[in-house]
Structure 1
Amino acid sequence: MQSKYIVFVYIFFFLLVDSKSYSQSREFVFYPVQGGLISEQLKSISYTDDGIIWGATDNGIMKFDGNTTEFIHSKLPSHYIKSLTRGKDHSIYVIHDLGIAKITSGDNQFDIQPILEGSTTLSPNFLYYPKSIFEVTPNEYWIGETSTIVHYIDNKIKRYTLTGESQSPHYVRSVLFEIDGYKRTWAFSYNVGIFTFDKEQDDLVQVTLPQDLHNIAYVEKVGFKTFWIGGKEGVFEMTVNREGQISTWKKLCDIKDVSSACQLKDKQLMVGTWNDGVYYVDLSKSDPKVRKLHLNGMEDIIDLKRVEGQGIWVTGTESMGLLKEAPFKSIDIVTKHRIVESAKEVAKGRIIISLGDSLRQLEWVNGNWIQTYLYECPERSRVFTLFNDELYIGTYDGHIFKTPLNNNRFEKLDKVDVKGSIISMFVDEENHLWAVGEYDQGLLKLNGDDVTIIQKEVLNGTHVIKGEGTFYIGGRNASQLLSKFNYKTQTFESLNLKFPRKVDQNISINDLLINDGLVYIATTDGCYYFNASLEKNEITLEEMIVRGLPQTTSYKAIAQTKDQAIWLASFNALIRVKNQKVQYFDKTYGLPSNAIKLQGLECDSEGRLWIATEKGLVISDHSPLLEDKTSVPKIRLYTLENAKEYLWDQSNAELPYESNIKLKFDHQFFPNDNVKYQYRIRSVDSTWTLPSKVDELTLLNLTNGNYLFEVKAQQLGYQMSDIASFEFRIITPFYKKSWFYVILFILLTTVIVFLFKRHNKKLKEKGKRLEYLVEMRAKEIATQRTKIMDQQQELYQKKQRISDAEHEIAKAELKNSQLREEKLSELLEQRNKHLTVVTLNIVEKSNFMQSLRKQLKILEKDNNQLKSILKPIYKTLDQSEKTDKDWEEFQHYFEGVHKDFNRKLKEQHPSLTSHDLRHCSLIRLNLSLIECANLLGISQDSLKTSRYRLKKKLELPVDQQLQDYILTFNVNSSTNPGISE
């Protein structure tokens, strides 16, 4: 009964609510070309298969290779280019004021050749200021001029005059041509009207239109007999019959002042206007959907060209850019760039989107998303879920509100008041609602209106709750990162996770994905997964490697679509991984913002992926664009010689030994900033480099061998390209080839053998000479030996005589030595006697003087009158004592006995005086104290004092006797004393 009531309420509100349709709009991204077109007015563009974009300007032909712009004006008679048309052979027809030329381009080289001449005067044999061309066959063309049409066939010109001037005031349109399925030619004049060519009458016949159509600027054949035509009044569809008449005519869209257009897939149309930008038109429904695209202020559209694999090139008068379709569809909710908190499917075909201040319920009806209800929650909503057929909403204020579907009767659950916001909600298979607060340590369990707060250590830091049957909770606690709920025990069991590598100690789980028995955990330090069916005490995780991203990348959300592709949201990109193929998307390729919400990826029952961002909501619904590969890059090889580069053809890439080369590889499809490359030299290293924007490689001093260079590219939003390869060979120099070594070995062997034989021959010759010389030498040696023996006998006799002589000499010398010793002994004895005599004389003299002085002193005491008389006598005595004559004689004899005693003593003790030396001489003679005192003329006490001072001057140790030192002085001296004659 309750469910019937809910259905009734739903139908009631569905009928009453002012439903709003949100059709899915295809997303396009515009990449403007920066610089290079500032003052060169563009009139049309075209392209060649090598990715080069060509433009018609008043300053020649513009060539744009995706990086730089070049203007070519010297290869044509006129630099005023009116239009460019792509030919059936994929070359480009260049229409200029003085004729028509043709561009062929490939492998970064191009050629321009004239095919039809023009003139500044109207002439039957020349073109007159041509504006457009249409190729029927290589020998048949239709050419539009200002007021005439030229039919060029079999090298002949046939001119047809129109009733008025056909050229547009923009100088970029005059006449457009198409051929229907009946092989009939149609001409669409800008100002005059539409004509069909009547072959029988050989004339252009104007057809009557059902309504006025002016300024025809766009024509495209879309069927066997159907054309789309764009002009001032809009875009129309025209169907013709075999007779050349219009059978049907209808208006496709009401876009005014059409300047150019191009058909997309599935009845999609891109329309450019002269002054109002570009519009996207969806004609798949009975009511066409028209949406203006934002092109960075470009409004004056001159030309649109759809290039397969690139996108749509949009040309303005002074600028251009590339419009690329993204594999996403946007839903503009209320206004653009609206923050989307979350999006979730609550029932099949029913999506609820949280915008914070409100929730919008969308349902899929007849190919459109219809807003069936607007929920206005009392507080700012963050997450929500369907529970017991009611909508439960968790708010940023930490509360939970509930309301019936399609109703704004909100009821606040009083028992719920957590810290921070409600960040995750989940309904388990027992119909319990689980919720977690941002900063609360625990979980909320709701059974109807009954609220239970479960606080356990295992629940600390819970961040996300998800599951299928068995559900898991992920958190911010590294030791209890992941837990699962056991329905039997009604408890949470902490899982022991073993990571394949060392992870951040502060790792936390931001989102969970449970699908086909696998559990994926998107963390702040990489993405991991495990098989949930393998019940083990320790769960070994496998890491999901995303090529091109660091393993430590932090992921905010994860989801898996029906095509088995896994989507990951990092903090600056959206990543799709399928069959190990990776694609990257960001706000430069279809996303409203790089800031995807936490757990902001949701996959609905139809396999559509809902992506909630800070600036809007987009959907990915199996677009075939997701399977597009990046085009294969092109490789060019240059050798570097004398600071110049020389291009080599792969068909003849045989390079000199030790060449310096540069390999350039590029995608050549704009924008190049969104392309990364990986390369390897397979013959050297099989490992690919990391993805980077580096587009060239320099190799120096290459050795001989075969080289295979491989490169692959990946453009933002595309899968990795197929591998491009360039094989080249470094020529082996002759001196490194095997035959050279063989010849060298033979030559060396021949030389060695020759030298060996020559050497042997010389050895034999030398041997014979040596034998002769030995024989002669032996004879000489025998003769010499006889002489030597005679000489030795004679020498022995001489030695014997010398020995006898030496013996006699030795005996004589010995005798002589003995005589000398005797003589010296006699001489020494004589001198000792003299020294003794002199010493005794000095002693006697001294004693006599002392005795005389004493007697005089006695007389002086007895008679004081003698004092004056004795005074001169005392003086005489003193002078007599002071005379050095006796001492000189003493010194002479002393030196004769003790040679150099005084000199050596003075050398070793420079501070000694002559008196000190006399004292030392007396000590050396081993005289007594009395004898020394008398000889020196002093008392014994004064002598002791003098000896004490003498010991100090000689710097003798305290324990060493002065007399011992003097007596042994010559013995300790380096020179022995001698006796002079």
Structure 2
Amino acid sequence: MKRLLTIVFIISLLIVDKYSVYAQSSNFIYYPVDASLISGQLKAINNTGDGILWGASDNGVMRFNGESTKYFPTAFPSNYIKSFTKEKNGDILVVHDLGVGKIISTGRDYHFENFIEGAHQFNKNKLFYPKSIFATDNKEYWIGEDSSIVRYKQGEHLRRYHLKLRSQSPHYVRSILFEIDGFKNPWVFSFSGNIFRYNKKKDSFLPIKLPIQINEISWVTKNGFKSFFVGCKQGLFEMEVNRSGQLIKWKKRVNLLDISVGEILSKNKLILGTWSNGAYLVDLHKNQPTYSKINLQGNEDVLSIDYQHGKGIWIGSTESIGLLKELPFNRLDLLNNHVLVESAYITKNGSLIFSEGDSVRQFIKKEGEWKQDYVYSFSDRIRSIGEFEGKLVFGSYVGDIFFTSPNSNKYSKLKEIKFTQSITSFFEDEENNLWIIGEYQPGIYKYSKEHKLSYLSDDNLKDVQVIKGISDGSFYVGTAHKEYLLQRYNYTDQKFENLNLQFPRTVADDIIIRDILIDTETVFLATSDGCFSFDRSTSTTIPLKEIEALGLEKEANLKAIARAGNTLWLASFKGVYRVENGKAQLFDKTNGLPSNAIKIGGLVKGKQKELWIVTEKGLLFHSEDKPLPKATEIQSIKVVYSGNDGVKNLWDMTTDIPYYSNVEVSYTSHSFPLINTKYQYRILSQDTIWSEMENTGKISILNVEGGKYTIEVRSQEKGKLISAVSSITFNVITPWFRQIWFYSVVGVLTIFLFFILIRIYNKNLREKGKRLEYLVEMRAKEIATQRTKIMEQQQELFNKKQKIIENEKSIAEAELKNSQWREEQLQDIIDQKNGRLTAVTLNIVEKNNFLHTLQNQIKKTVEDYPELAVSLNKLNKTIEQSDKTDKDWEEFQLYFDGIHSDFNQKLKEKHPNLTAHDLRHCALIRLNLGLNECANLLGISQDSIKTSRYRLKKKLALENGHNLQDYILSFK
């Protein structure tokens, strides 16, 4: 066994050595644009600062608003666009084959202008197939052609400088590049690999001799007061010059070949694109710069990069564009990204330990990066990790607990644990006891510093979920039962006390506490029905406050909680929320989470300003030093209405909208991709409640009434806070028939008309009153006559009714007498049948008595004269045979059935096993005959009749205590 452990230990060390290079990586996510791009070379992209992206192509200028593209092939004299350059005011200089133009855009409106004229044939006063342009601070422009440089200043003639070389890129872009150093000296970089400095005194460009020969210079940018980055075929170089324009430093910084374009992201980070091998993230922070390839989903020819702060990095290739966003999290590179991550734990010394399948990996921070330091191997999957007395504690999915020293694979197992499901949580209290809970287990284990194990299983400790606390204070246990949802350990009584939680609203009956966060003053509960907090105190009645924030889902089903400074982090089934100052932003897979399935308790606060997020498909962290995307941009709003004067677009409300028009309000934040942005609105003239968040950026209002309308809109992009409110106000013209004066005139006329009508009505009413009095008098006389006739008719009807009642009474008395007569006749018949039945019964009794007497005399004679025994015995058998075949029983049965017609049938149906003898016996019992009478009638002794009744009781399946006679009498 010891040898096996040694082998495992050596293998684990080899694994650590082999894979120790794996560490965290900066992540990007690429959103390609699928918006009807026209196939053709897309040579450059740029933005006008209002969310609109412009592209330079061989099909003219392209405009992309985040949703769709539109081409303008006739915006400029030539549709072959070569490059863009943005001026400080946001206008874009457009270089095309026949000159330079401008794009002037404000997001909702734009137009094109011609700026510098060009020509198909060489003309010293016009540009000749320009390729690039550079604008200085003093409104001076440098334009690059194939073999010359042109200087242009408004109001002056063109000044051309011939370079005595031809510099043309095979892609017809960036043949000539410009930059100006901190000393205001212009520099020219040609695609052929030559560099020139402008000499003001000589008014000429002087070549610069480089230490090595380079070519295909495609990207140049100033990275300091007197230094430049130069990207070319041989890699990225740093060039430094002095005031006199002399080269004082030339150093290769990145060994990345065929650089086509680049963009500086921060002081030590930049993105470099290549002509045919994609784009790379470059880190210059270290002595040995590193670079890693960015996944552009197959777009390998990178021609342009446009970095928009707060939005992302637009990447343009020959036939596609896409938005590259740097993720707010750093993902920890794992050996196998297909293995589920179970849990993570930060040790007291700051190491990161996390469970990955059947192994547990230990990472430490070296030189600013997290690198693997050790691997712990187990036969079972590890669910939870903790520390106790300087040792590491591991809980498995099958309920086992292991102890080991750091950086050791020698384990001891706690065998007394009887949990059958996974171990979910550990906690070491201030008395150095280790508390252990299992998933949905009916109790908690306590492992003391004396290494004694005890089990607490009170009713309020059923279905425990989580145990959390601070080492020098109280600790809490959360459960899955609403009645005893939260327990607090009382050190004085050495037991858990149930806390009476008073929720600020009605919560679900099946609410679960999944995670607990405790700081010095406040306790936070992450539950399946929202996040709540309360102030720490000794009271057992706890009033809760709900954590609410703009952008946070109400009654969210939460799985984990953590805190970093003033920021609260909440993990739900939709992703991770960051809550600060009453606002929340949501991060999910679209923001770089490997999975939205975050583990329960999967938010872990590190000791070095990191927040670790444990998902099923990976482990990542956010550094507090890394800024997160802030608020979503304010959206622009447009109103389109259709009325009697046609369809019109309104950006401002200087024009009134006709009454009863159909109005459509559209709004967008120009955030790409649009599916990541949701909007909500409210119409203040109708309601003050905000609508639900939805992707639709449009409101339709049919048949608008007159008045003033104010519509407020705000939006939220995934990973950002909700935007500020944008509003638009428009006025709907109220027609003359809806004006106040019109209603006033109509009101006065109505009152006057009403007064006239009342006068006429009163006059008519008086005349009608007189006629009505006469009619009433005449009608009263008619009514009196009719009333007399009615009274006479009623008296006549009453007399007839009395006669009918008397007749009915006589009939009833006759029917009663007839019924009594019939009953008397029926009773006579029954009495006759009873008499005959009695006579037959007595006849049978007398006959049986006579036969019994005769048999007794025969028996006595046999005793006195034995010689007559043979003859007398034959006579005795004849008597017995006569007793059995007697016809009197048939006559008895006939009269018995006449009185009790269905008795034998009902008895036979219920008990088909009864014999004829049994039925006779039952009939005699039905006649209430005693034992002696039944014995005489059946011709047997009283003992035999008792035996017969006993057997009869068994056949009838009567239990002990049931009376045979009562049972027989129940058959009517």
TM-score, normalised relative to structure 1: 0.72
How many Å apart are 1:568 and its aligned residue? Answer: 1.2
1:341–1:354 Cα contact (<8 Å) kept: yes
How many Å apart are 1:163 and its aligned residue? Answer: 3.7
Amino acid at match of 1:554: N
How many Å apart are 1:633 and its aligned residue? Answer: 0.6
CA deviations 1:489-538 (Å, max 9, x no partner) are: 111222233434443333322211122432222222332232331614x4
| In structure 1, C-alpha distance between the alignment counterparts of 2:150 and 2:164, rounded to whole Å | 15
| In structure 2, C-alpha distance between the alignment counterparts of 1:719 and 1:583, rounded to whole Å | 5
Partner of 1:95: 95
Partner of 2:560: 557
| In structure 1, C-alpha distance between the alignment counterparts of 2:213 and 2:535, rounded to whole Å | 69
How many Å apart are 1:236 and its aligned residue? Answer: 1.5
Amino acid at match of 2:314: W
| In structure 2, C-alpha distance between the alignment counterparts of 1:56 and 1:269, rounded to whole Å | 23
How many Å apart are 1:385 and its aligned residue? Answer: 0.8
Partner of 1:257: 258
| In structure 2, C-alpha distance between the alignment counterparts of 1:166 and 1:427, rounded to whole Å | 72
Partner of 1:499: 503
1:548–1:690 Cα contact (<8 Å) kept: no
Structure 2: gaps (5+ residues): 1-8, 760-972
| In structure 2, C-alpha distance between the alignment counterparts of 1:84 and 1:212, rounded to whole Å | 29
1:486 matched to 2:490? The reply is: yes
| In structure 2, C-alpha distance between the alignment counterparts of 1:282 and 1:428, rounded to whole Å | 44
Structure 2 counterpart SS, 1:256: coil
Partner of 1:699: 701
How many Å apart are 1:719 and its aligned residue? Answer: 0.8
Amino acid at match of 1:661: V
CA deviations 1:441-460 (Å, max 9, x no partner) are: 22221124322233332221
| In structure 1, C-alpha distance between the alignment counterparts of 2:264 and 2:359, rounded to whole Å | 39
Amino acid at match of 1:220: T
Partner of 1:475: 479
Pairing 1:604-619 to 2, within 5 Å after superposition: 604-619=606-621
- Structure 1 residues 17 and 78, CA gap change in structure 2 (3 angstroms): closer
Partner of 2:348: 347
Partner of 1:932: none
Pairing 1:620-769 to 2, within 5 Å after superposition: 620-623=622-625, 625-626=627-628, 628-641=630-643, 645-650=647-652, 652-734=654-736, 736-737=738-739
- Structure 1 residues 627 and 149, CA gap change in structure 2 (3 angstroms): closer
Structure 2 counterpart SS, 1:588: helix
1:539 matched to 2:539? The reply is: no
Partner of 1:800: none
Partner of 1:273: 274
| In structure 1, C-alpha distance between the alignment counterparts of 2:656 and 2:520, rounded to whole Å | 54
Quote the sequence identity (%): 42
| In structure 2, C-alpha distance between the alignment counterparts of 1:641 and 1:729, rounded to whole Å | 14
Pairing 1:18-33 to 2, within 5 Å after superposition: 20=20, 24-33=24-33
| In structure 2, C-alpha distance between the alignment counterparts of 1:170 and 1:627, rounded to whole Å | 36
Structure 2 counterpart SS, 1:119: coil
Amino acid at match of 1:349: G
Amino acid at match of 2:624: H
- Structure 1 residues 671 and 625, CA gap change in structure 2 (3 angstroms): farther
CA deviations 1:141-171 (Å, max 9, x no partner) are: 2111222222223432222233432111122
Worse-superposed segment, 579-588 or 551-560:
551-560
Structure 1 counterpart SS, 2:136: strand
How many Å apart are 1:548 and its aligned residue? Answer: 4.9
| In structure 1, C-alpha distance between the alignment counterparts of 2:523 and 2:95, rounded to whole Å | 63
Structure 2 counterpart SS, 1:420: coil
Partner of 2:104: 104
| In structure 2, C-alpha distance between the alignment counterparts of 1:726 and 1:543, rounded to whole Å | 34
Partner of 1:244: 245
Partner of 1:328: 329
2:440–2:462 Cα contact (<8 Å) kept: no
| In structure 1, C-alpha distance between the alignment counterparts of 2:208 and 2:336, rounded to whole Å | 46
How many Å apart are 1:546 and its aligned residue? Answer: 5.1
Amino acid at match of 2:662: N
Partner of 2:186: 185
1:524 matched to 2:528? The reply is: yes
1:220 matched to 2:221? The reply is: yes
Worse-superposed segment, 435-444 or 54-63:
435-444
2:552–2:585 Cα contact (<8 Å) kept: no
Amino acid at match of 2:514: N
Structure 2 counterpart SS, 1:720: coil
CA deviations 1:876-897 (Å, max 9, x no partner) are: xxxxxxxxxxxxxxxxxxxxxx
Partner of 2:176: 175
- Structure 1 residues 627 and 68, CA gap change in structure 2 (3 angstroms): closer
1:398–1:418 Cα contact (<8 Å) kept: yes
Partner of 2:72: 72
| In structure 2, C-alpha distance between the alignment counterparts of 1:535 and 1:401, rounded to whole Å | 37
2:193–2:217 Cα contact (<8 Å) kept: no
CA deviations 1:837-864 (Å, max 9, x no partner) are: xxxxxxxxxxxxxxxxxxxxxxxxxxxx
CA deviations 1:223-257 (Å, max 9, x no partner) are: 22111111111112111111111112222211111
Pairing 1:843-858 to 2, within 5 Å after superposition: none
2:440–2:465 Cα contact (<8 Å) kept: no
Structure 2 counterpart SS, 1:379: coil
- Structure 1 residues 23 and 187, CA gap change in structure 2 (3 angstroms): farther
CA deviations 1:466-499 (Å, max 9, x no partner) are: 1122111112233322212111111122223343
| In structure 2, C-alpha distance between the alignment counterparts of 1:643 and 1:737, rounded to whole Å | 21
Structure 2 counterpart SS, 1:505: coil
CA deviations 1:385-443 (Å, max 9, x no partner) are: 11100111111221111111122222222223421221111111111111122253222
1:422–1:437 Cα contact (<8 Å) kept: yes
| In structure 2, C-alpha distance between the alignment counterparts of 1:337 and 1:293, rounded to whole Å | 21
How many Å apart are 1:36 and its aligned residue? Answer: 1.8
| In structure 2, C-alpha distance between the alignment counterparts of 1:443 and 1:534, rounded to whole Å | 22
Partner of 1:386: 387
Partner of 2:63: 63
Structure 2 counterpart SS, 1:652: coil
Partner of 2:842: none
CA deviations 1:916-945 (Å, max 9, x no partner) are: xxxxxxxxxxxxxxxxxxxxxxxxxxxxxx
- Structure 1 residues 586 and 627, CA gap change in structure 2 (3 angstroms): closer
- The count of aligned residue pairs is 742
2:77–2:98 Cα contact (<8 Å) kept: yes
How many Å apart are 1:709 and its aligned residue? Answer: 1.6
| In structure 1, C-alpha distance between the alignment counterparts of 2:139 and 2:57, rounded to whole Å | 27
Partner of 1:37: 37
| In structure 1, C-alpha distance between the alignment counterparts of 2:447 and 2:748, rounded to whole Å | 97
2:684–2:710 Cα contact (<8 Å) kept: yes
CA RMSD of aligned residues (A): 2.8
- Structure 1 residues 643 and 309, CA gap change in structure 2 (3 angstroms): farther
- Structure 1 residues 140 and 721, CA gap change in structure 2 (3 angstroms): same
Structure 1: gaps (5+ residues): 1-8, 760-981
Amino acid at match of 1:519: V
Amino acid at match of 1:74: T
How many Å apart are 1:267 and its aligned residue? Answer: 2.0
CA deviations 1:706-760 (Å, max 9, x no partner) are: 33221111111111111111122234445555566778899999x99xx99xx9x
Amino acid at match of 2:94: V
1:131–1:143 Cα contact (<8 Å) kept: yes
2:132–2:143 Cα contact (<8 Å) kept: yes
| In structure 2, C-alpha distance between the alignment counterparts of 1:699 and 1:336, rounded to whole Å | 50
CA deviations 1:302-357 (Å, max 9, x no partner) are: 11110123111011111111111222122213354653222221124322222233
1:656–1:731 Cα contact (<8 Å) kept: yes
How many Å apart are 1:582 and its aligned residue? Answer: 0.9
| In structure 1, C-alpha distance between the alignment counterparts of 2:233 and 2:316, rounded to whole Å | 19
- Structure 1 residues 635 and 391, CA gap change in structure 2 (3 angstroms): same
Partner of 1:151: 151
- Structure 1 residues 439 and 636, CA gap change in structure 2 (3 angstroms): closer
Amino acid at match of 2:584: V
| In structure 1, C-alpha distance between the alignment counterparts of 2:743 and 2:455, rounded to whole Å | 88
